[in-house]
Amino acid sequence: MKILFAATDHIAIPLLEALARESLIGAVLTAPDAPGKRGKSLIPSPIKARALELNLEVYSPDTLRTEAREHIKAYGCDTLLSFCYGKIFGPRFLSLFDRTFNVHPSALPKYRGCAPIYASIRNMDRESAISLQAIALKVDEGDIYGRLDLELDGTENSESLTSKVSQLVPEFVLKVLGNIENAVPTVQNPEDASYQMFIEKEDGRVDFTKSAKEIHAQIRAVYPWPKAYALLGDDKLILTSVAGSVFDEFEPTQGEEPGTVVALDKKKGLKIAASDCYLYVNRVLPPMKKEMDSASYVNGNRAIIGSVLK
């Protein structure tokens, strides 16, 4: 098996390293270099940077049209393996390979699309999964060759769950590929399909008229991007972490206006009223300052107690 590994983001680095150790990579396909935060210079994708350190052949075209296909064909790869690459593969591109696979961090056909980790947290799922599927012409509709189930405890944020998935993927994928000749794929049932597409910045805006558990899940789902926030007067207060599990019992409110910062619990954080119950925000990012724990924030801003976040 000679693999063209198509990936871009950090999540795929452990799999890249594992495939390289097994000498399975013929070449790495990744996104073109992109402007950095200040836009003054081009920055390689995390996968490109690591692949070059591993002395792997790297190709990062703008498109996958004729010129790119001819270039990739010359590598002589018989297998395409994709994990968070970022582009759609057309039929002509897929025809270059005997077999094509994609790693998708959900229990397909649940959460087809580009943000399954976010979706599993936001929807308060108790379980998630990693799927290895054949690549189909439509988004995430390919047959399933293997699945690794994951139990969620209701405290994960998108950063921590992404890290967990990243570390579990290599052993899972290598095990499935190692027995691929005997594998009997499972056909997805389209009636069970759901979709989660792009995350927008406004997905971070907290509405305290929702339930405490919905907000708890939202704050975790949108960390580290775009991050949850609410308005304190005219200022944006970013809420970066919450205490406890979304599966815990929450304390009912006493009729406070949703968004009211009721108190500071030194162990749990800011006690804030939602529409039904209280939630505890234990880390915040105030305007023009660094992220801090809620106790430190209150020490410098005691007026927050009794204020209403909108």
- Summarize the confidence of residues 85-104 as an average pLDDT: 96
Residue 79's identity, in one-letter code, is: T
Tens of pLDDT, residues 125-180:
999 999 999 999 999 999 999 999 999 999 999 999 999 999 999 999 999 999 99
| Beta carbons of 128 and 161 less than 8 angstroms apart | yes
Q: What is the mean pLDDT of residues 13-25?
A: 98
pLDDT greater at residue 159 or residue 40: 159
**What pLDDT score was predicted for residue 41?**
86
Please state, in angstroms and rounded to a whole number, the distance separating the CA atoms of residues 156 and 161.
6
* Mean predicted confidence (pLDDT) in 78-97: 96
- Could you tell me which residues come within 8 angstroms of residue 5 by beta carbon, excluding any fewer than 6 positions away? 12, 15, 16, 19, 25, 27, 28, 29, 81, 82, 83
At 105-114, the pLDDT tens digits run 999 999 999 9
Strand positions, DSSP E, 8-115: 25-29, 34-35, 42-43, 58-59, 79-83, 99-104, 112-113
Q: How many domains does the chain have?
A: 2
Residue 57's domain comprises 3-196
Percentage of residues in the chain having pLDDT higher than 70: 99
- Please say if the pLDDT value at position 95 is more than 90: yes
For the cut 70, the answer to whether the pLDDT of residue 209 exceeds it is: yes
Model confidence band, residue 39 (pLDDT cutoffs 50, 70, 90): low
Domain finish residue from 166, 196, 226: 196
- In the predicted structure, residue 197 carries a pLDDT above the cut 90: no
14-18 LR contacts (CB < 8 Å, sep 24+): 14/166, 14/167, 14/169, 14/170, 15/83, 15/103, 15/166, 15/169, 15/170, 15/173, 16/47, 16/50, 16/51, 16/54, 16/56, 17/50, 17/54, 17/170, 18/170, 18/171, 18/173, 18/174
- With a cut of 90, say whether residue 37 has pLDDT above it: no
My answer on whether 270 and 154 are in the same domain is no
Same domain flag for 218 and 191: no
Query: Is residue 46 in some structural domain?
Result: yes
Q: Assign residue 226 the CATH number of its domain.
A: 3.10.25.10
- Judged against a pLDDT cut of 80, whether residue 40 lies above it is answered with no
Indicate if the pLDDT at residue 205 is higher than 70. yes
**Whole-number pLDDT of residue 226:** 97
Average pLDDT over residues 13-30: 98
Quick one: average pLDDT of 258-282?
Answer: 97
Task: Report the run of H or E that residue 280 belongs to, with start and end.
Answer: strand 278-285
Three-class secondary structure of residue 29 per DSSP = strand
Please say which residue of 196, 218, 239 terminates a domain: 196
Kindly state whether residues 190 and 240 are assigned to the same domain: no
Q: Return mean pLDDT, the chain.
A: 96
Average pLDDT value for residue range 178-202: 94
What predicted TM-score, i.e. pTM, was given to this entire model? 0.95
Whether 189 and 214 share a structural domain: no
Q: What is the secondary structure of 134-167 as a DSSP string?
A: E--SSTT-SPEEEEEEEE--S---HHHHHHHHHH
Instruction: Look at residue 160 in the predicted model and tell me its pLDDT.
Output: 98
CB 279 within 8 A of CB 215: yes
Q: Are 123 and 211 part of one and the same domain?
A: no
Domain end (from 145, 180, 196): 196
Q: Give which of 112, 106, 108, 111 is closest to 88, Cα–Cα.
A: 112
Residues 221-243: what's their mean pLDDT?
Answer: 97
128, 173: one domain: yes
Q: What is the pLDDT of residue 36?
A: 80
> What's the rounded Cα separation, in Å, for the pair 279 and 263?
11
Same domain, 121 and 267: no
- Report if residue 310 sits inside a domain: no
**259 and 136 share one domain:** no
On whether the CB atoms of residues 281 and 239 are closer than 8 A, the answer is: yes
